Structures are given as C-alpha cells and as structure tokens.
Amino acid sequence: MLEGLDPEQREVATALGGPVCVLAGAGTGKTRALTHRIAYGVRAGVLAPASVLAVTFTNRAAGEMRGRLRQLGAAGVQARTFHSAALRQLQYFWPKAIGGEPPRLLDRKIQLVAEAAARCRIRLDRNELRDVTGEIEWSKVTRTTPEDYPAVLAKSGRDAPRDPAETARVYALYEQLKRDRSVIDFEDVLLLTVGVLQDRPDVADTVRRQYQHFVVDEYQDVSPLQQRLLELWLGDRESLCVVGDASQTIYSFTGATPDHLLDFRLRHPGATVIKLVRDYRSTPQVVHLANGLLGQARGRAAEHRLELVSQREAGPEPVYTEYADEPAEAEGTARHIRELLDSGLPASEIAVLYRINAQSEVYEQALADAGVPYQLRGAERFFERPEVREAGVALRGAARAGGNDTLLDGAGDLPSQVRAVLTSRGWTTEPPAGSGAVRERWESLAALVRLAEDFGRARPDATLADLVAELDERANAQHAPTVEGVTLASLHAAKGLEWDAVFLAGLTDGMMPITHAKTPEQVEEERRLLYVGVTRARRFLTLSWALARSPGGRAGRRPSRFLDGLRPGSGAAGGRRPGGGGGVERGAGARSRKRRGPVRCRVCGRTLTDPGEMKLMRCEGCPSDLDEGLYERLREWRAERAKELGQPAYCVFTDKTLMAIAEAVPDDEAGLARISGVGARKLDRFGTEVLVLCAGEELPASAGDTAGDEDGVAGGGIDEGPGDGPEGTGDEGAAEDVTTAVTEEAGK
C-alpha cells in the first residue's frame, strides 16, 4: 500500500491519528496520498470503511476516488461531495428532525428567480437574471441574509452587478416562494443540514457515530458554509486530513477561501503539516512554466507557494502559437490534435481548455471538421436519459431473476449478459443508420455496454447485481462513463484532472484575465486559473491566442499579460525564460500575412462573426436557397459513411457544412473546397461522392466501401453531448457540487 508513495506522501498516509494538513502544489500526488491514506488505514484495521467520509470537489472526482479506493481494496468508503453527503443525511433525518416528507430539490433556480423578479416588478434579461442568481448563491454560501446583503456586499469590495437593494428584494421574495412551494435549492441542502446538526444534538450524535474519520480534497476552495458543515460533522474529534494548494484557489467568487487551509494549524494546534514538492505529473518544461507563472503571483496564496520540482523525463517545450482570428486558432488546434492522434496518442489523453464555455463552439466545429470526436465536460447528464433509465430497470430485473432469466440463457460473462439484456432494449452490434434520436439512444446503450466491459475487466468475478449497484452509484453521482474523445472543458471544470496533451486556447488579454476581473484579487484568481490549466498537462502543452475575433476583424488583441516574460520574445522578467529558446509560432493566417478577409453573408452582405453563420456563409435569418432534396440525400449519405467509419456523423460533415453544400450546390472541387468545413482531408476522402450527389446523380452501390479505414479515429468515439451537429454547447451539469449559476456564469 505504501510502496507507490514517496516519504512525505507516506507520512500523509500513515499519520492516521491526529489532524493532518497537506499543503502542496499541482501534481504532487495529494489526491493519490489521500486515497492511499484511506486504503492503508482500512488495511491496517485502524479505519472501518463505513466510518470514513471522503469529501471531494465534484461528483466526477468522487466517482474517480471510489474507483481508486476499490482498486486499492477499500471498497465501502463513502466518497462524496459536500452537497451529496449532506443531501443524503438530510433525506435520512428529515422525517425525524422536521417531520413529513423531505422537500423537493429545485432543478434550476433561475426560473424561480425570474418569477420573484417579475413579482417585484423588476425586469431582468437573461444575463441580468444570471447575475442576480449568482448574487443569491454567493449570499447563501457566505451565510448572508437578504437584509444583510447590501452591507455585506459593500464590505466585500466586490462590484455589485446591479442595485444591491433590488437584488436583496428579489432574493427575499425568492426565498419566500420556495417556502410557499416546499422546495429547496442547492444551497439549502447545506444550510438545512447545518441547521439540523446545530439544533438537534441527537441527530448530530447519530451522524458522528456513523462517520469518525474525514478527508477533504481541494480544501483551498471550501466555502464558509461547507467549512461549518465539516466542523459539525467533526465535533470535538481530530481525525481529519485536508489537502489543498492555495495557488489553485479558483472559486473565490463563490465565497470560497484558502484561509481555512492556510490557517489550519491555528484551529488545530497539534496538526501535522506536510509539504509535497515533487511533481509527478508534468515534465520539467511544463513545471518550469508553472513555476514562472506563480513567480509573478501576488497575495496571500502566493506567499505560500512552493517551487515544484518535476520528477519526469524532459519533454517538448511548451508551444506558443499566435493566430489571426478565432476560427483559425480552432482550426490550427484541431490540426495539431489530428497529428497527435495520428502519432498514436489516444483521444482521451487530449484536452482543449478555455476560460468560458461559450468558447467551446468554435472548437466543436473545428474538431468535427477535422473528423475528431470530442466530449464536452459537464454536458453529459447521462444517467438521466430515458433510455439509460429503462436499461437500468431491465438490468436490475435480470439481476434479480439471477440465472433464471431466459434472457441470460447461454450468455457467458458479465459483458455478454449485459449485451443480451440490452439487445432486448434495442441495442444492436452495429449502430443504426442515420442520426437523431434513434442514433442517440443507441449511443447511450453502447456506452452502457462499454461500461460493463470496463467493469468486467476491472472485476473479473463481478456479477450482474454488482454492475447494477455500480450503475446506481454512478447515477447518484451523475458520473457518466468516459468516452473516447478529446475533452473540451472550461478551466474551472478541469481542476484535479490531467491529460498527456493540453491545449490552452483563447489566451488573450480580456479573456485571460477575463475583462470582468477588475480588482487585484480578481486578477490574481485569473492567474491561478491559468496555473491550474498549465499544470493539467503531463507532456504536451500548447498555449494559443488569436489577434482578432473573426476573419478580417480588427487585430486589436494582445496575448495574456500573464505570459509576459514567460513567452518567447516578450522580454524576460526576472531572467525567466522558457528554456530552449524557440519563438512564438505563427498559426495559419497569422503566418501568411495575407490575412483572411471578413466572411460576409452571401444574401445581405453583412459581416458575419457568429461561427455557425460563418459556416453557413449567410445570416441565420436571411432567406435560404437550400436544395431540400439534396440536403436530405447528403444526410443519408453521411449517415451511411459515419456508420461504415464507426464515427459520429459530425466527423464526416457537420449539419452546417451539409447545409452550406446544399445551398451552394458546387459543381467542381474548387467550389466545394470554398465551403467552410471542407478541408483538404475531407475533400480528398469525400469530395468525389459529394460532387456526384450535387450533380443529382446516384452513387455507385460500392461507393464508400472503406469500412475499417485506417484513418478511423481510435475507439470510434461516441457522440456524447452535442448530438448530431456541434450546435448544442451543453449546459454545465448542475450535478456538480459547484456548478451553481455562479459557476455557470464563471464557466461560460
């Protein structure tokens, strides 16, 4: 159990008695030390699995932690977010502590906030509504009442997004409406649990008898409310281990503060404080940049920074690339990703990270155009899909019937049994033709089959009942199975994770730091966000920015100020320079000097900036001269092709590109090549067939008979979030502990 740990990590794992605080930088093995500590304690017989509560930041992290604990032989330990642990306790104690049925949990509070605003006769547009919702959430996690809100806000030094008195009125009415309707929101779960534990010693006693040992990951981002809950769970006991990195505090805007981490010893004078400095995740090149970034940081978190020392072999230097415009940046990034995939790196080992979720669309387009499958983080909500729920019911039924289920006759191991049951629900070995709902349903079932296969591999002796239990666990945690695809995620959502190759995109001043970061503290938080991004990379790191938003637009942007002195050619601050020299690369468009002209609507001539409209080459609202019949034929052809290639349809062409083809009806290669989304690679693979269809001719029956094409993307990739086209950017899953509207705001 202790073999895979270095001496300091071992100290974390073996100091099972008293309070322990681990202060350490990114990639130093904090999470690893934490899981080993639990597993070691369980093995040594010091910790009873059911008496341990491990708290992590997101449901996904909790799911991963459960997986790791199981592998280390410590199944049965609860790993949850603050929110999900509290919700469970609340539901359990509600009838006894308060009486009656527990209230319903509000899905999306924004609607109720809108109603409250309307009743206060305050008109709010979508963005204002989100701002006010964010303020309400901030108030709740900082335990601020509506009456106190204006004063507390003034004291916090933050800019109010709108008149505080108005916000306070909406907040008060929103609370009233919730009470009237017996619903509670996300924050109420924590508030009510804290209330019950404070007021009812008998309930607190029961909880404390159940949980005696606590570990908390990502402790730098704990909110005052979560901290209070932790104290109530703990009582006067000392079996607590917290780990965190003040330099990765990125949720201060939700009321979180690293003070709890940094002042741990003040509250627990006997605490063992352990520092880890060996970075096991990233190459010296990546670590050098991370250290350089933190070298310029200011504020309390920065005072506690530790210089990281990479334990890995040397790797490539980080690459800095400047592009003329955003679509060019996305296309350049997609091209690099294609090269990495061609060199054998799995898609699941690659991520594109950006500051706000709205940036994803142009990357979705570019990846789709390059035939690269992707998954949007936070967009899954997999277990809520009806087909997944129905499949779960069928699997549970089969598990209950055990060997007596005729469905399972002759089915061998666990994955075969699952395939047998799901076949009865419409799963087939081959995906159905076409896209849309049928295909989506199939993709969900296929993901379940894959999940069963992975589970069977990890636990060869697992039964169907074990799998059903696992599915329930995951469903509770909203932990969708991983799909083979490049990850697209906001920097906030990337916390705690790692990939071999990371692309940090859109690093312009204005986006990083984001324009609305005004105070020095807010700017420092942005710098930490970039630090989090940099330290996600194991080996390949690319940082890019675009000088203009759209082709032909004014090139008035400059790269992020955080890269000054670090990026080649920006003047060495304090003698720091990324080693190895090398300059900033010029991406397509920037390199050619011949900047692309603006894309204009071919109907009304307006300059287009929306990526979707740019693809269509006209405004969404302008009349379309779409050849409907051709469009349908193209879609059918695409479905066939996607099926043969075992890829999502968008990897052949996106809806927008097909639409543009069916509008332009090109009659030669040059005409086809002018359509956005038809690159050289796609022209080469699909050009002839598309032109045949455009000419109104039939394709020969054998056309496209290239199944198993060596170009096929590893794993085929399931189209998890965005459906058939890249239109849907997905919503940040409200499932995660922190994905309240505030974080949506920050993450978007």
Angle at 657 between CA 656 and CA 663, to 5 degrees: 90
| Closest approach of ligand ATP to the CB of residue 217, in Å | 7
31 binds Mg ion (CB under 5 A): yes
Q: Judged by CB under 6 A, which stretch of 22-30, 170-178, 369-377, 486-494 contacts ligand ATP? A: 22-30
Helical pair 186-199 and 201-210, crossing angle rounded to 10 deg: 110
- Name the residue nearer to ligand ATP (CB basis): 8 or 720: 8
283 binds ligand ATP (CB under 6 A): no
| Closest approach of ligand ATP to the CB of residue 11, in Å | 12
| Closest approach of Mg ion to the CB of residue 73, in Å | 21
Distance separating alpha carbons of residues 318 and 537, to the nearest angstrom: 10
From 8, 9, 133, 693, residue interacting with ligand ATP (rule: CB under 6 A): 9
29's contact among Mg ion, ligand ATP, none, with CB below 5 to 8 A by partner kind, is: ligand ATP
496 binds Mg ion (CB under 5 A): yes
Q: Please count the CA atoms within 13 angstroms of the CA of 76 that sit on its side-chain side.
A: 10
From 5, 222, 240, 493, residue interacting with ligand ATP (rule: CB under 6 A): 5
Distance of CA 708 to the CA centre of its chain: 31
DSSP-assigned letters across all residues of 68-130: HHHHTT-TT-EEEEHHHHHHHHHHHHHHHHT-SSPPEEPS-HHHHHHHHHHHTT----HHHHH
Q: Name the phi and psi angles at 173, rounded to 5.
A: -70, -35
Distance of CA 198 to the CA centre of its chain: 34
Q: Judged by CB under 5 A, which stretch of 116-124, 422-430, 488-496, 640-648 contacts Mg ion? A: 488-496
27 binds ligand ATP (CB under 6 A): yes
Q: Is the dihedral of CA 265, 271, 272, 277 positive or negative?
A: negative
| Closest approach of ligand ATP to the CB of residue 18, in Å | 22
- Name the residue nearer to Mg ion (CB basis): 30 or 441: 30
Distance separating alpha carbons of residues 411 and 421, to the nearest angstrom: 10
| Closest approach of ligand ATP to the CB of residue 26, in Å | 4
220 binds ligand ATP (CB under 6 A): no
Contact between residue 482 and residue 720 where contact means Cβ atoms under 8 Å apart: no
689's contact among Mg ion, ligand ATP, none, with CB below 5 to 8 A by partner kind, is: none
Distance separating alpha carbons of residues 370 and 651, to the nearest angstrom: 7
Distance separating alpha carbons of residues 242 and 684, to the nearest angstrom: 55
Residue that the structure tokens 């790196």 belong to: 345
Q: Which amino acid is at 219?
A: Y
| Closest approach of ligand ATP to the CB of residue 33, in Å | 7
From 8, 12, 19, 28, residue interacting with ligand ATP (rule: CB under 6 A): 28
From 19, 20, 30, 340, residue interacting with ligand ATP (rule: CB under 6 A): 30
| Closest approach of Mg ion to the CB of residue 30, in Å | 5
- Name the residue nearer to ligand ATP (CB basis): 31 or 490: 31
Q: Token pair for residue 230? A: 């932790």
402's contact among Mg ion, ligand ATP, none, with CB below 5 to 8 A by partner kind, is: none
94 binds ligand ATP (CB under 6 A): no
From 281, 474, 527, 643, residue interacting with ligand ATP (rule: CB under 6 A): 281
- Name the residue nearer to Mg ion (CB basis): 31 or 239: 31
Class of residue 179 by CB neighbours under 10 A (exposed 0-12, middle 13-18, buried 19+): exposed
| Closest approach of Mg ion to the CB of residue 304, in Å | 17
Contacts of 437 (CB under 8 A, 6+ apart): none
215 binds ligand ATP (CB under 6 A): no
- Name the residue nearer to ligand ATP (CB basis): 315 or 725: 315
535 binds Mg ion (CB under 5 A): no
577's contact among Mg ion, ligand ATP, none, with CB below 5 to 8 A by partner kind, is: none
From 26, 129, 241, 645, residue interacting with ligand ATP (rule: CB under 6 A): 26
Contact between residue 284 and residue 314 where contact means Cβ atoms under 8 Å apart: yes
Q: Judged by CB under 6 A, which stretch of 24-32, 394-402, 445-453, 461-469 contacts ligand ATP? A: 24-32
291's contact among ligand ATP, Mg ion, none, with CB below 5 to 8 A by partner kind, is: none
Distance separating alpha carbons of residues 192 and 544, to the nearest angstrom: 45
From 14, 23, 32, 318, residue interacting with ligand ATP (rule: CB under 6 A): 32
Contact between residue 36 and residue 454 where contact means Cβ atoms under 8 Å apart: no
60 binds ligand ATP (CB under 6 A): no
- Name the residue nearer to ligand ATP (CB basis): 58 or 139: 58
Q: Which residues of 123-143 are buried (b: 16+ CB within 10 A; e: fewer)?
A: ebeeeebbbbbbbbbbbbbbb
Residue that the structure tokens 């105070």 belong to: 519
6 binds ligand ATP (CB under 6 A): yes
Binding residues for ligand ATP, rule CB under 6 A, total: 19
- Name the residue nearer to Mg ion (CB basis): 217 or 329: 217
Contact between residue 525 and residue 250 where contact means Cβ atoms under 8 Å apart: yes
- Residue of 144, 204, 533 whose CA lies nearest to 359: 533
Contact between residue 439 and residue 446 where contact means Cβ atoms under 8 Å apart: no
- Name the residue nearer to ligand ATP (CB basis): 497 or 662: 497
| Per-position x/- string for 234-263, each x denoting binding to ligand ATP as judged by CB under 6 A, each - no binding | -----------x--x---------------
- Name the residue nearer to ligand ATP (CB basis): 248 or 257: 248
From 496, 513, 578, 587, residue interacting with ligand ATP (rule: CB under 6 A): 496
Distance separating alpha carbons of residues 249 and 161, to the nearest angstrom: 22
From 19, 20, 31, 124, residue interacting with ligand ATP (rule: CB under 6 A): 31
| Closest approach of ligand ATP to the CB of residue 30, in Å | 3
Q: Judged by CB under 6 A, which stretch of 26-34, 540-548, 657-665, 680-688 contacts ligand ATP? A: 26-34
- Name the residue nearer to Mg ion (CB basis): 30 or 213: 30
- Name the residue nearer to ligand ATP (CB basis): 528 or 641: 528
Q: Which segments of 591-642 are extended strands (E)?
A: none
- Name the residue nearer to Mg ion (CB basis): 28 or 375: 28
**Cβ count near 687 (within 10 Å):** 17
678's contact among Mg ion, ligand ATP, none, with CB below 5 to 8 A by partner kind, is: none
29 binds ligand ATP (CB under 6 A): yes
| Closest approach of ligand ATP to the CB of residue 447, in Å | 25
Contacts of 688 (CB under 8 A, 6+ apart): none
Contact between residue 579 and residue 288 where contact means Cβ atoms under 8 Å apart: yes
- Residue of 71, 13, 33, 531 whose CA lies nearest to 280: 33
- Name the residue nearer to Mg ion (CB basis): 242 or 566: 242
27's contact among ligand ATP, Mg ion, none, with CB below 5 to 8 A by partner kind, is: ligand ATP
Q: Which amino acid is at 140?
A: K
Helical pair 464-477 and 436-458, crossing angle rounded to 10 deg: 120
Q: Which residues of 284-316 are buried (b: 16+ CB within 10 A; e: fewer)?
A: bbbbbbbbbbbebbebebbebbbebebbbeebe
Q: Judged by CB under 6 A, which stretch of 25-33, 472-480, 481-489, 593-601 contacts ligand ATP? A: 25-33
567's contact among Mg ion, ligand ATP, none, with CB below 5 to 8 A by partner kind, is: none
Which residues sit opposite 374 in a β-bridge? 486
Contact positions toward ligand ATP, by CB under 6 A? 4-6, 9, 24, 26-32, 245, 248, 280-281, 496, 498, 535
Contact positions toward Mg ion, by CB under 5 A? 30-31, 496
